[in-house]
Amino acid sequence: MQQKLLDLKNDFLNKLENTTSPEQVEVLKKEFLGKWGKLQDILKGIKDLSVEEKKVVGPLANELKNEIEQKAEEKTLLLEEAKFEQQVEDEQIDVTLQFPSKKKGHKHPISITSELLEDIFISLGFKVEDGPQIEDEQHNFDKLNIPDNHPARDVWDTFWITDKINDTKASGKKQLLRTHTSPIQVRTMLKWDLPIKIIVPGRVFRYEQEDARHTCNFYQLEGLVVWEWVTFGDLKWTLDTVMKRLLGEKTELRFRPSIFPFTEPSAEVDVSCQICNGTGKVKGKKCSMCSGTGWVELLGAGMVHPKVLKESGVDLEKYSGFAFGMGIDRIAAQRFNVSSSRMFYQSRLKLNEQF
Ligand SMILES: [Zn+2]
């Protein structure tokens, strides 16, 4: 039996030598020391031994069990250490490794122009206001002196929100994609105390045929000043100053009489075309930006209509105001010499990356 125990020990040590993972050591340990293991198998014959022999074999078997446990533990530790070292080796980070640098994006020309306009107006004491893009009929039309069935509504080709809820709403409450930034005039006058001196840059929507100067959504910048003794002269000076700062000192402005429901008197304001320098021609051909006229219509402006002021709770005896709205896209096209503002919306990276 002593020989059997010695053979068992050698067998175990040989097999342990060939293990390559802690899991394999555990399986081997079970094979020798488990309830149905090889040692138990040998010890089954102990009952047939004499008392003297039992005294020798008993401690020997115990010693062998301890030795197997100890050797298994030592090997497990060794294998775990080796595994950890391999892991460190595999996961090493080379901090000196160089990657090609990522290309940085930049602002869209319309954002650049909008921020530039904001800076100019802020330097003149204006505040920047914002409002919802989904408006109600009342703020977009009614309170701006464009009641239901007014012919002027046709000028603003409107995207109405046509869901079941909207269709059941009372007149004035129906929702639409705002056709201009002018509703913020009303919202501001109802919300703030006078004096008011604001600009509202933002996206507006029109249901219209696209061409070099028209897109179904574009960016507008609205302006409103309401205080005592505000005159048309203040409006002219403000627009002249802003356009010269934005497009250059040589820029000319042209005021043409016009009709808007929310201003009286009203004017369309043109600036001399920056693409053809007011000549109407580019390389002998008709300039597409100004249709060969040398002028580009950039603004609508005028003195705020008394009805609009009244709707917004302003005392007509004491106060007056002027308002204007300009297309940021068209100004961007003029500033960056792009022949059609529609091109800004066509995801032309080659075009947008130039600015
Ligand atoms: Zn032109």
Residue 263 has a pLDDT of 92
Domain boundaries, the chain: 2-90, 110-352
Please, what's the b/e burial string for 219-249 (b: 16 or more CB within 10 A of its CB; e: otherwise)?
bbbbbbbbeeebeeebbbebbbebbbbbbee
Assessment of whether the complete model's pTM goes beyond 0.75: no
Bond from prior residue into 195 cis (ω within 30 degrees of 0) = yes
Q: How far is CA 31 from CA 7, 22, 25, 77, 97, in A?
A: 15, 14, 10, 19, 49
Contact between residue 264 and residue 306 where contact means Cβ atoms under 8 Å apart: yes
List, as one string, the DSSP characters of 235-295.
Answer: HHHHHHHHHHHHH-TT--EEEEEEEETTEEEEEEEEEE-TTTTTSSEETTEE-TTTTTSSE
| Sequence-ordered list of residues with C-beta below 8 angstroms from that of 38, at least 6 positions apart, any chain | 8, 11, 31, 32
Q: Tell me the β-bridge partners of 196.
A: 226
Contact between residue 281 and residue 287 where contact means Cβ atoms under 8 Å apart: yes
Q: How far is the CA of 281 from the centre of ligand 1 (A)?
A: 6
Q: How far is the CA of 327 from the centre of ligand 1 (A)?
A: 16
Q: How far is the CA of 42 from the centre of ligand 1 (A)?
A: 107
Question: CA-to-CA distance for 122 and 156, rounded, in angstroms?
Answer: 29
Q: Tell me the β-bridge partners of 326.
A: 221, 299
Q: How far is the CA of 298 from the centre of ligand 1 (A)?
A: 13
Q: How far is the CA of 189 from the centre of ligand 1 (A)?
A: 38
List, as one string, the DSSP characters of 46-113.
Answer: GGGS-HHHHHHHHHHHHHHHHHHHHHHHHHHHHHHHHHHHHHHHHT---TT---PPPPP----HHHHH
Reported as type and span, the H/E element at residue 7 is helix 2-17
Q: How far is CA 339 from CA 205, 290, 332, in A?
A: 21, 9, 10
Contact between residue 146 and residue 262 where contact means Cβ atoms under 8 Å apart: yes
Contact between residue 45 and residue 53 where contact means Cβ atoms under 8 Å apart: no
Residue 235 has a pLDDT of 95
Q: How far is the CA of 201 from the centre of ligand 1 (A)?
A: 25
Contact between residue 294 and residue 252 where contact means Cβ atoms under 8 Å apart: no
Q: How far is the CA of 244 from the centre of ligand 1 (A)?
A: 17
Please, what's the b/e burial string for 82-119 (b: 16 or more CB within 10 A of its CB; e: otherwise)?
eeeeeeeeeeeeeeeeeeeeeeeeeeebbeebbebbee
Using alpha carbons only, what angle is made at residue 152 by residues 150 and 157, rounded to the nearest 5 degrees? 115
Residue 46 has a pLDDT of 79
CATH architecture of 110-352: 2-Layer Sandwich (3.30)
Closest by Cα among 322, 335, 334 to 126: 322
Q: Which residues surround ligand 1, an ion (CB under 5 A)?
A: 273, 275-276, 287, 289-290
Look-up of token digits 């990276």: 349
Q: How far is the CA of 280 from the centre of ligand 1 (A)?
A: 5
Q: How far is the CA of 221 from the centre of ligand 1 (A)?
A: 22
Question: CA-to-CA distance for 354 and 55, rounded, in angstroms?
Answer: 97
- Residue count (the chain): 355
Return per-residue pLDDT of the chain as tens, 355 residues.
Answer: 778 888 888 999 999 999 999 999 999 999 988 888 888 888 888 788 888 888 888 888 888 889 999 999 999 999 999 989 988 888 888 788 877 778 788 889 999 999 999 999 999 999 999 999 999 888 888 888 888 888 777 777 788 887 766 666 666 678 889 998 888 888 888 888 889 999 999 999 988 777 766 778 889 999 999 999 999 999 999 999 999 998 889 899 999 999 988 899 999 999 998 888 889 998 899 988 788 999 988 899 999 999 889 888 889 899 999 999 998 988 888 888 887 777 888 777 788 788 7
